[in-house]
Amino acid sequence: MSFSLASKVALVTGAGSGIGEAIALRFARAGALVWAADVNEDAARNTIRLIREGGGEGEALRLDVTSDADFVAALARVPIVDVLVANAGIGHVGTVLTTSVADFERILSVNVVGVLRTLKTWMPGMVERKRGAVVITGSTAGLEGLVDRFAYTASKHAVVGMMRCAALDHATSGVRVNAVCPGRVETPFVKARLREYPDPEAAYREMASTQAQRRMGTPEEIANAALFLASDEASFITGAALAVDGGWTAGMFPQK
């Protein structure tokens, strides 16, 4: 089955790279007109260039999810959205002892308040029109604790909680709200990090070892899951945190 977003308008935050870029490209291939929003406008433009090269339709939008003014301007340009993907997010490494309050607030301001601003900007119109699908990029860090990811895990747990509440509050409105929760994904950023290790293959195996399938996911695999949740075929799914993690959160598995 191939899921269609024909005649839908989709907006994706953090669409200039990695998972957001893959979602934007996949949604455009499924027929959506895609607004690629990113704090890095050049990166957003590049995503739109790739979409157009593939025969799709889209526009780039500069949007810093920490800026109220950017959201006001974005809503003026894109007043109606059928599919909203709150994907922009940043990582952080640290324990409770090594994470500063400033770092914690910075992570929450992008990963949590940024998602809040995204929902508050476009969900009212969806609720008013009684239709729409929201997909939030969570993480396995929103489903269980991760070592040395104190602030990031806090932020992704918050995002999963926000998704569940927004889904419940609007369950009868025709608007569905779900999260895709990736495990480790081989984004360009991760690939660049791997190349810095003396033994990149060993580093890959180490990073992939948290997943039962013993490999990292690809951005396209996350995008496929987001497409399903955004499509009408997922009409009875709301409030779901869909793990796309190669079995990471399924339970214990032998470390071999």
Ligand X SMILES: NC(=O)c1ccc[n+]([C@@H]2O[C@H](COP(=O)([O-])OP(=O)(O)OC[C@H]3O[C@@H](n4cnc5c(N)ncnc54)[C@H](O)[C@@H]3O)[C@@H](O)[C@H]2O)c1
Residues designated catalytic: 152
| Of residues 76-105, those binding ligand X (CB under 6 A) | 87-90
Could you tell me where the DSSP H helices lie in 3-149? 18-29, 41-53, 68-77, 101-111, 113-129
- For residue 205, the minimal CB distance to ligand X (Å) is 16
Instruction: Based on the shown chain and the rule CB under 6 A, indicate whether residue 61 belongs to the binding site for ligand X.
Output: no
Considering only the stretches 8-16, 72-80, 169-177, 198-206, report the one whose residues sit in contact with ligand X under the rule CB under 6 A: 8-16
- For residue 119, the minimal CB distance to ligand X (Å) is 14
Q: How far apart are CA 70 and CA 153, in angstroms?
A: 27
Instruction: Based on the shown chain and the rule CB under 6 A, indicate whether residue 118 belongs to the binding site for ligand X.
Output: no
| Of residues 134-193, those binding ligand X (CB under 6 A) | 137, 139, 182, 184-185, 187, 189-190
> 17: closest CA among 160, 190, 139, 152?
190
Spatial contact of 45 and 60, defined as CB atoms under 8 Å apart: yes
Q: How far apart are CA 235 and CA 176, in angstroms?
A: 8
Among 17, 121, 153, 210, binds ligand X (CB under 6 A): 17
Instruction: Based on the shown chain and the rule CB under 6 A, indicate whether residue 20 belongs to the binding site for ligand X.
Output: yes
Cα-based distances in Å from 75 to 45, 69, 71, 119: 18, 10, 6, 12
Spatial contact of 225 and 23, defined as CB atoms under 8 Å apart: no
| Binding characters for ligand X, 182-221, by CB under 6 A (x = yes) | x-xx-x-xx-------------------------------
- For residue 153, the minimal CB distance to ligand X (Å) is 11
- For residue 242, the minimal CB distance to ligand X (Å) is 12
Strand, coil or helix: 136? strand
Q: How far apart are CA 37 and CA 25, in angstroms?
A: 13
Among 4, 31, 40, 215, binds ligand X (CB under 6 A): 40
Strand, coil or helix: 68? helix
- For residue 99, the minimal CB distance to ligand X (Å) is 16
Task: Report the interface residues with ligand X, using CB under 6 A.
Answer: 13-14, 16-20, 38-40, 43, 63-66, 87-90, 110, 114, 137, 139, 182, 184-185, 187, 189-190
